[in-house]
Amino acid sequence: MDKIVNQKAWFLVLPVFLVVAFSAILPLMTVVNYSMQDTFGNNQFFWNGVGWFKELLDPSTDLGGRFLASLGRNLLFSAIILTIQVPLGIVVALSMPREGWSVAACLVILALPLLIPWNVVGTIWQIFGRPDIGLLGYTLNSLGIDYNYVSNDFDAWVTVIVMDVWHWTSLVALLCYAGLKSIPDAYYQAAQIDGASRWAVFRAIQLPKMNRVLLIAVLLRFMDSFMIYTEPFVVTGGGPGNSTTFVSIELVKIALGQFDLGKAAALSLVYNLIILIVCWVFYTVMTNAGAERKAAPESEAALEPKPAAGLKPVGVLKPKEGVA
Amino acid sequence: MHSIPGRRVIMALFLIFLLLPIYWLVNMSFKTNSEIVSTMTLWPHTPTLQHYRRIFTDESWYSGYINSLEYVVLNTVISISVALPAAYAFSRYRFLGDKHLFFWLLSNRMAPAAVYALPFFNLYSAIGLFDTPWAVALAHCIFNVPLAVWILEGFVSGVPREIDETAFLDGYSFPRFFIKILVPLIASGIGVAAFFCFMFSWVELLLARTLTSVQAKPIAAIMTRTVSAAGMDWGLLAAAGVLTIIPGALVIWFVRNYIARGFALGRV
């Protein structure tokens, strides 16, 4: 069943186009405009061409040094986050109770951190980690571990990472859980007859079935951790020194702190470009996964009684395949 | 579903890890400030409601909650109502530039809010919306509208096309078909989409803080100003934090059966 070509559909899309254009294209044009100019206040602007961009990519300048340092910190942060959260999320998803009221209870508690305003997440950990009034900080210090996230770089990093694990591992777990739920019992029965070990079941059945949700999880976590701002800003304010200053924090510092519009705009564009490239890779991979799914033999499709909830996003991109 | 050995222990440990910091916040919100600063107590020894009382009686505090809810609800209504027709169009028709448009929408969901903070400030100041709930509601559309389109598209695609065709043969006009038949069929999808719009608008701080100053200041911004003030009022801060968790917890309870599905479906 192919989609009908109908140009009038544009009228249905028009409201979305207008709303998003208003809040995306107009501001983006302002950013492009600023990125080519310099300002000394009083709304006086001077043409600067691509000067900011050159400076941005040159580590010997102040702007470039700050940008590349924060970019490096941010990439390291994202890498650590992914290596912790993805395996932990899988383990938690595999540990979900099978049925009964405890499933709902676990789901609600898992989802709870995701619905707490980001600055409150920061506040919670700020309080929890303080050596004088926080349970974590107090306990660690009374165990003889000298822990203080305000003055020690390493402790600040640990706090920010543990906080992010606390905040977002549930997302990975919920995605994996949705993927696991979609595996028909017949697969497990077949594995049992073959006498497959627990590990073999995981490798041969569960992991392949979680492939696509895991892909979503990895990319979402990469992108969101790459854009992180509020939580570390509340807890550490980017410090001690600059040790937890990630790209977004640096950007806001330059834009709203120093009001250096030209520099901030150039940084914004480069930052946005990086995100856009990752997003494009994501989109392409997802679309190809959808196409492969379409090409898969009919017999496999017949084996699946109901389409996987976890596979939905694939179906959304290629809406004509197996969306129930 | 097959599980792993020791799953109960793992699950219990993880849930404790999730709940412990929240417990600490709740615990502190019921303590007096002198108890917080002077001694380390695992539960409030002299429980008090003074912080909550202060928030519910002081207008500068409780108006923050009202402001936040105002723009969150506005944003959810705008997002869902513009996204519904678009979701139908993307699901049913092929038209000039549809794929590019979809990618463009998606890329806006991924754009860092920090990039837009300053231009939004200029834009909404220029058109006189600065410091109103409308400014924040419209600004949050940049990530919520694409998300709503994405989720609803999945649900609309789940409705067989024969239903549309039958309705049109029966003489339904397009708007009437849309409201009378399609919307009730995808009601759970609209619920999930509204949940996500509510959630992302509720948790966002950077744009909400940048676009308001006095009149429409969200609770999150009021809290950050307490943090920076000299002489930290920890109990009050904790109580305000606890109150921001409650709307989220209520919303989760209503959609608990759709959570797993919803996250896999729409969290992009």
Per-residue pLDDT of chain B (268 residues; tens, 9 = 90+): 455 778 889 999 999 999 999 999 899 889 887 787 777 778 888 888 888 988 888 888 888 889 999 999 999 999 999 999 999 998 888 888 888 888 888 788 777 787 788 788 888 888 888 888 999 999 999 889 988 888 888 788 878 888 988 999 999 998 899 989 999 888 878 887 888 888 889 888 888 888 888 888 888 778 766 654 556 778 888 888 899 888 888 888 777 777 666 665 543 3
Our CA-based measurement puts residue A194 at a distance from the nearest CA of chain B, in whole angstroms, of: 15
Q: In whole angstroms, what is the distance from residue A29 CA to residue B70 CA?
A: 29
Q: What is the pLDDT of residue B214?
A: 80
- For residues A94 and B9, is the Cβ–Cβ distance under 8 A? no
Counting beta carbons within 10 angstroms of the beta carbon of residue B73, is it exposed (0 to 12), middle (13 to 18) or buried (19 or more)?
Answer: middle
CB A163 within 8 A of CB A81: no
Chain B residues lying within 8 Å of A30, measured CB to CB? 119, 122-123
What is the distance between the alpha carbons of residues A22 and B228, in angstroms, rounded to a whole number? Answer: 34
Neighbours of A174 (CB within 10 A): 28
User: Hey, which residues 135-164 in chain A have their CB within 8 Å of chain B?
Assistant: 135-136, 138
Is there a contact between B89 and A13 if contact means CB atoms under 8 Å apart? yes
Across A160-169, A270-279, A306-315, which has the greatest mean pLDDT? A160-169
Rounded to an integer, what distance in angstroms lies between the CA atom of residue B208 and that of residue B219?
10
CA-closest candidate to residue B168, choices B185, B180, B158: B180
Question: What's residue A208's pLDDT?
Answer: 82
A131 touches chain B (CB under 8 A): no
Report the pLDDT averaged over residues A102-122: 87
Q: How far is B98 from chain A (nearest CA, A)?
A: 9
Contact A91 B4 (CB under 8 A): yes
Which residue among B81, B108, B244 places its CB closest to the CB of A20?
A: B108
Q: What angle do CA A229, A232, A237 make, to 5 degrees?
A: 100
Please report the number of interchain residue pairs, chain A to chain B, with beta-carbon separation below 8 angstroms.
Answer: 329
pLDDT at A291: 63
Choose among A244, A245, A256, A259: nearest CA to A67.
A245
What pLDDT score was predicted for residue B267?
A: 35
Cβ atoms B55, B239 nearer than 8 A: yes
Q: Is the pLDDT of residue A307 over 60?
A: no
Is the pLDDT confidence value at A299 over 50? Answer: no
Reported ipTM: the value is 0.81
Contacts of A315 by beta carbon, 8 Å cutoff, 6+ apart: A290, A307, A321, A322, A323, B154, B157
Angle between helices B234-255 and B259-266 (to 10 degrees): 90
Q: Do A248 and B114 touch (CB under 8 A)?
A: yes
CB contact under 8 A, B86 and A115: no
pLDDT number for residue A30: 82
For the segment A287-302, the average pLDDT, to the nearest whole number, is 55
pLDDT at A305 over 70: no
Give burial (CB, 10 Å; 0-12/13-18/19+) of A57. Answer: middle
Pairwise CA distance, residues A65 & A57, whole Å: 8
How much is the pLDDT for A111? 86
Cβ distance of A133 and B249 shorter than 8 Å: no
- CB atoms B244 and A120 under 8 Å: yes
Question: Cβ contact (<8 Å) for B142 and A133?
Answer: no
| Tokens of residue B104, six digits | 């463009």
pLDDT per position as a tens digit, A22-53: 888 888 888 888 888 877 666 667 777 777 88
* Percent of chain A surpassing pLDDT 90: 11
Does A207 reach chain B within 8 Å, measured CB to CB?
no
A261-295 helix and B98-110 helix, angle to the nearest 10 degrees: 130
Average pLDDT over residues A159-176: 91
Q: Give the pLDDT confidence score for residue B137 in this predicted structure.
A: 92
Residue B176 C-alpha from the chain's centroid: 30
pLDDT value of position A303: 43
For residues A174 and B260, the answer to whether their CB atoms sit within 8 Å is: yes
Strand A37-39 relative to strand A4-5, pairing: unpaired
How high is the pLDDT of residue A56?
Answer: 80
Q: Give the number of other CB atoms < 10 A from CB of residue A141.
A: 15
Q: Residue A24, CB half-sphere, CA atoms under 13 Å: how many?
A: 22
Question: Which residues of chain A have a CB within 8 Å of the CB of B150?
Answer: 313, 316
**Chain B touched by A254 (CB under 8 Å):** no
- The residues, ordered by sequence, that sit 6+ positions from B261 with a Cβ below 8 Å of its Cβ are A178, A309, A312, B192
Question: How many angstroms separate the CA of residue B243 from the nearest CA in chain A?
Answer: 10
The Cα A323–Cα B259 span in angstroms is 18
Q: For residue B118, which residues of chain A lie inside 8 Å, CB to CB?
A: 31, 255-256, 261, 264-265
What is the band of A316 on the pLDDT scale with cuts at 50, 70, 90? very low
**Does pLDDT of A131 surpass 70?**
yes
| Residues of chain B found within 8 Å of residue A124, distances taken between Cβ atoms | 21-22, 24-25, 241
**Helix (H) or strand (E) run with residue A5 in it:** strand A4-5
Task: For residues A56 and B235, give the distance between their C-alpha atoms in angstroms, rounded to a whole number.
Answer: 44
Mutate to test the interface with B, among A116, A138, A192, A213 (most CBs of B within 10 A): A116
Q: For A185-207, write each residue's pLDDT tens digit.
A: 888 888 888 888 888 888 888 88
Determine, for residues B138 and A177 on separate chains, whether the beta-carbon distance falls below 8 Å.
Answer: no
Q: Please give the pLDDT value at position A73.
A: 92
Peptide bond into B146 cis (omega under 30): no
pLDDT for the residue numbered B225: 65
Chain B residues whose beta carbon lies within 8 Å of the beta carbon of residue A91: 4, 10
Among A255, A223, A227, A229, which residue's Cα sits nearest to residue A30?
A255
Gap between the Cα atoms of B77 and B198, Å rounded: 10
Mean pLDDT of A77-85: 94
pTM greater than 0.90: no
Q: Among candidates A176, A174, A173, A170, which has minimal Cα distance to A212?
A: A176
Contact B93 A4 (CB under 8 A): yes
Residue B214 contacts residue B131 (beta carbons within 8 Å): yes
The angle subtended at Cα A286 by Cα A283 and Cα A290, nearest 5°, is 135
- Average pLDDT (A263-283) is 84
Listed by number, the residues of chain A in 27-46 with a beta carbon closer than 8 Å to a beta carbon of chain B are 27-28, 30-31
Using a CB-CB distance cutoff of 8 angstroms, which residues of chain A are in contact with residue B102? Answer: 317
Identify the pLDDT of residue B76.
93
pLDDT at position B58: 82
A87-91, A222-226, B152-156, range with greatest mean pLDDT: A87-91
From chain A, pick out residues whose CB is under 8 angstroms from the CB of B100.
Answer: none
Among the partner residues A28, A107, A118, nearest to B259 by beta-carbon distance: A107
Q: Per the CB < 8 Å rule, is A20 touching B145?
A: yes
Residue A320: pLDDT above 50? Answer: no
pLDDT tens digit sequence for B113-128: 877 887 888 888 888 8
Nearest-by-CA chain A residue for B106: A279
CB contact (8 A) between residue A227 and residue B14? no
Q: Which residues of A touch B157 (CB under 8 A)?
A: 315-316, 319-320, 323
Positive or negative: CA dihedral B79, B82, B85, B88: negative
